[in-house]
Amino acid sequence: MDRPDLRQFLNRRMLNRSTTHATQRGASAIVVAASLLLLLGMAAVAVDLGAGFNERRQGQTAADLGALAGALEYVSVDETTTLLEVLGTVRSNLISDYGNSADPHDTAWIDLWRGCSDTPPNGFNPWPLSATMQTNGWTGFSGNSMSCVSASKDTIRVRIPDQLVDTAFGGAIGTNELRTSALAHATIRFVAGGGARPFGVVNGASTGSICLTTRSGSVPPCDGPDSGNFGTINSQQWGDPDVGTTTNCGVAGNAELATNIALGSDHLIGTADPWYA
């Protein structure tokens, strides 16, 4: 091959190589973009989903402690005090403060619960909002009651309002926030067999029974008489399948009294208003 032919051959090779490079320009950008999207998706799973699980765990803790706090107050104080105890405990354990955390009636805090809805199961009633609560801004709730806090005769149910978590990487795959919630129950139970003496003895008790009619002396408040009319004993029964009693809300007789002496009352006794009945 002489020199002119060699020169033409080399020129054609260089031209073909240049054309090939031009047609492949930008291919690496597509690969990098696709890889970046995949990496962002993996980061969203690792980081954002982890933050969501953390929020969910914190919300469950708040629900658990709120239900327990309400159960402790349930049979001894009024419904307003109990509700504020539940809400205050929940708030102190959530990640977000929702306004002024020192104000139990903060607008942002009320709005959060106003937007919460729950369907309590059979036997549970939504918690009523007293006139005091409504005066402090707790208005706009269906039936003037809070469905996300409810109760039966012996159980408190607390559902945490939805908690929103902003995502750091989820926006790349179309998710800008995560939503979590939590639910908890706390049931009041009393330990049986405390070893206390009964409050009375059935007529015809055998020899060896302890007599409870002797006066204790003059030490108040046990300085009253040991005979006379001291009023009646309310021993009505609500009906508890665990102990085999049936509902009897009328005037209780000897049978109910004897059962209550042996087993104790089949329902909770407290000073709270029976709004849940």
The pLDDT score that the predictor gives to residue 16 is: 58
Q: Of residues 233 and 143, which shows the higher confidence score?
A: 143
pLDDT at 106: 93
**Which whole-number Å values give the CA distances from 6 to 9, 11, 17, 209, 218, in the listed order?**
5, 9, 17, 129, 134
Answer yes or no: is 218 within a domain.
Answer: no
Q: What domain count does the chain have?
A: 1
DSSP letter at 275? T
pLDDT tens string 197-223:
455 555 555 555 555 555 556 666 666
Residue 140 confidence (pLDDT) above 90 = yes
Q: Which residue has the higher pLDDT, 18 or 114?
A: 114
156, HSE (Cβ side, Cα atoms, 13 Å): 24
Q: Dihedral of the CA atoms 199, 205, 208, 212 (nearest 10)?
A: 30
The model's pLDDT over 86-126, given as tens digits with 9 standing for 90+, comes to 999 999 999 887 888 889 999 999 999 999 999 999 999 99
Tell me which residue range forms the domain holding 182: 32-187
Q: Is residue 229 part of a domain?
A: no
In a domain, 6, yes or no: no
Model pTM greater than 0.75? no
- Mean per-residue pLDDT over the chain, rounded: 78
Which segment of 5-9, 43-47, 87-91, 124-128 scores lowest on mean pLDDT?
5-9
Of 221, 225, 252, the residue nearest 237 (C-alpha): 252
132 in a structural domain: yes
Q: Taking 80 as the threshold, does the pLDDT of residue 37 lie above it?
A: no
Does the residue 114 lie in any domain?
Answer: yes
Over residues 227-247, the pLDDT tens digits come to 766 666 677 788 877 777 888
* Residue 227 domain-assigned (yes or no): no
**3-state SS assignment for residue 202:** coil
> Quick check: is 181 in a domain?
yes
Residue 9 lies in a domain: no
Share of the chain above pLDDT 90, in %: 34
